[in-house]
């Protein structure tokens, strides 16, 4: 009976922490002792450090509105009682953040005022309230804090959230907009390693892109128009054509300012339509219920894992489908997002595969499928 009670308390504590409750407050001091947390160290200080890190892309990356060969990034560490949690802030141009803005934000973060890293809700509410925006900067603190807490618990976050890692989906691999020869070459390079591809559309060569890929590959394809289609009738016609080509879903077909047009397209679309640029944070989810089939959650836009999990829960309650995406990131942020991938319908977690200078080893893609390890926290080791 005593053993059953300990197992119950441990499971309940995981659920409490994952759902937004603080285990200490719910179960008292008996629960942390079950995880062998060093209570002697309680009252210690969390130390936040950070440094810029330029992500170098393996190939030129092109979407509807720009091309780039690097992505600015800031690497973050939170140390507590000799344990280090890792996080990062990745900043593609459209987010509006920069290395300078992230560094300036992180300089304002004072974690030393908290002596208990398990106070996730209070700590992250404080971080969010420092100033508006700065979502990627906030995500870096959130990810590092989750990594730290998971390590203190000795558990991966997918376990804390009660998920089955065997249900993690296949991830898409992104083919950027390019010339037919380059697109054909990239497709042939990766087609045997993945079960589904993702194609960036939204320029004047959309059909050429799809036809080029289809000339060498028959895999299912997800497409992301990146707000590139401006007319709703054109968008719907394209979607009908895409379905005939074996496309399985469409992200953000039209500009986020044209929500009524997007809703019209979604209502008549033969394919599920997912919000990307139209969605940022938890407060946006309910507003999009009737305009999109589902949402694409990205840690850098929603401030991190804490809010992302709440978005998953709310979307499911509203009957919406869920996708998890990423920016070009190291295995740190990608592995953090992968922790809730068993709860989603689609995953686009290839950001670490697109860079040549990853600093971590974390979740892996095996025969196209996301494979989570059992390392505590977000499941990474530093290289």
Cβ distance 284 to 303 under 8 Å?
A: no
CA distances to 23, 24, 281, 284, 370 from 307, in Å = 18, 21, 8, 12, 22
CA pair distance 352, 330, nearest whole angstrom: 5
How many CB atoms are closer than 10 A to CB 167? 12
Q: What is the pLDDT of residues 180-218, one digit of tens each?
A: 999 999 999 999 999 999 999 998 899 999 999 999 999
b/e code 32-56 from CB counts within 10 Å (16+ = b): beeeebeeeeeebebebebeebebe
Cβ distance 219 to 195 under 8 Å?
A: yes
Residue 19 has a pLDDT of 53
Fold assignment, 160-382:
TIM Barrel (3.20.20)
Q: Which range, 20-24, 38-42, 278-282, is most confident?
A: 278-282
For every residue of 72-89, DSSP letters joined together read -EEEEEEEETTEEEEEEE
Residue 125 has a pLDDT of 98
Q: Check pLDDT > 50 for residue 300.
A: yes
Whole-prediction pTM: 0.88
Q: What is the pLDDT of residues 261-289, one digit of tens each?
A: 999 999 999 999 999 999 999 999 999 99
CA distances to 153, 229, 298 from 340, in Å = 17, 31, 12
Copy the structure tokens of residue 186: 């990239």
Q: How confident is the model at residue 65 (pLDDT cuts 50, 70, 90)?
A: low
| Residue in the block written with tokens 């249900």 | 167
CA pair distance 213, 219, nearest whole angstrom: 9
Residue 255 has a pLDDT of 97
With 0-12 / 13-18 / 19 or more C-beta atoms within 10 angstroms meaning exposed / middle / buried, residue 252 is buried
Kindly state the average pLDDT of the residues 208-236. Answer: 96
Q: Are strands 73-80 and 83-90 parallel, antiparallel or unpaired?
A: antiparallel
Copy the structure tokens of residue 204: 């004047």
Residue 170 has a pLDDT of 98
Q: How confident is the model at residue 66 (pLDDT cuts 50, 70, 90)?
A: low
Fold assignment, 40-155:
Enolase-like; domain 1 (3.30.390)
- Angle, CA 112 vertex, CA 111 and CA 115 arms, to 5°: 100
CA pair distance 352, 221, nearest whole angstrom: 20
CA pair distance 242, 249, nearest whole angstrom: 9
CA pair distance 349, 257, nearest whole angstrom: 27
CA dihedral 301, 304, 305, 310 (to 10 degrees): -60
| Residue in the block written with tokens 């996301």 | 370
């Amino acid at each position: 009976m005593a053993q059953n009670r300990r197992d119950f308390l441990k499971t309940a504590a995981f659920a409490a922490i994952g759902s937004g409750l603080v285990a200490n407050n719910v179960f008292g001091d008996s629960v942390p002792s079950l995880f062998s947390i060093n209570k002697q160290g309680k009252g210690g200080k969390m130390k936040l450090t950070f440094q810029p890190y330029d992500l170098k892309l393996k190939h030129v990356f092109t979407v509807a509105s720009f091309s780039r060969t690097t992505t600015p990034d800031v690497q973050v560490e939170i140390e507590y009682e000799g344990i280090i949690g890792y996080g990062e802030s990745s900043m593609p141009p459209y987010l509006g953040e920069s290395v300078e803005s992230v560094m300036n934000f992180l300089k304002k973060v004072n974690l030393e005022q908290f002596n208990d890293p398990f106070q996730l809700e209070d700590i992250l509410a404080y971080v969010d309230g420092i100033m508006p925006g700065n979502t990627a900067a906030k995500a870096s603190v959130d990810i590092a804090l989750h990594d730290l807490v998971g390590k203190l618990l000795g558990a991966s976050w997918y376990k804390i959230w009660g998920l089955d890692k065997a249900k993690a989906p296949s991830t898409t691999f992104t083919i950027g907009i390019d010339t037919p020869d380059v697109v054909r070459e990239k497709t042939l390079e990766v087609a045997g390693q993945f079960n589904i591809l993702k194609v960036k559309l939204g320029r004047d060569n959309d059909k050429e892109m799809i036809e080029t890929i289809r000339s060498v590959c028959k895999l299912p394809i997800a497409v992301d128009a990146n707000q590139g289609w401006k007319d709703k009738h054109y968008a719907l016609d394209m979607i009908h054509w895409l379905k005939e080509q074996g496309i399985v879903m469409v992200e953000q077909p039209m500009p986020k300012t044209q929500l009524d047009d997007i809703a019209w397209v979604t209502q008549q679309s033969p394919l599920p339509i997912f919000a990307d640029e139209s969605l940022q944070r938890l407060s946006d989810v309910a507003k999009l219920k009737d305009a999109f089939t589902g949402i694409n959650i990205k840690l850098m836009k929603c401030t991190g894992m804490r809010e992302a999990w709440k978005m998953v829960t709310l979307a499911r309650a509203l009957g919406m489908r869920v996708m998890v995406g990423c920016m070009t990131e190291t295995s740190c942020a990608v592995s953090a997002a992968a922790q809730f991938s068993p709860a989603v319908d689609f995953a686009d977690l290839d950001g670490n595969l697109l860079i040549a200078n990853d600093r971590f080893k974390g979740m892996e893609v095996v025969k196209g499928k996301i494979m989570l390890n059992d390392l505590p926290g977000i499941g990474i080791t530093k290289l």
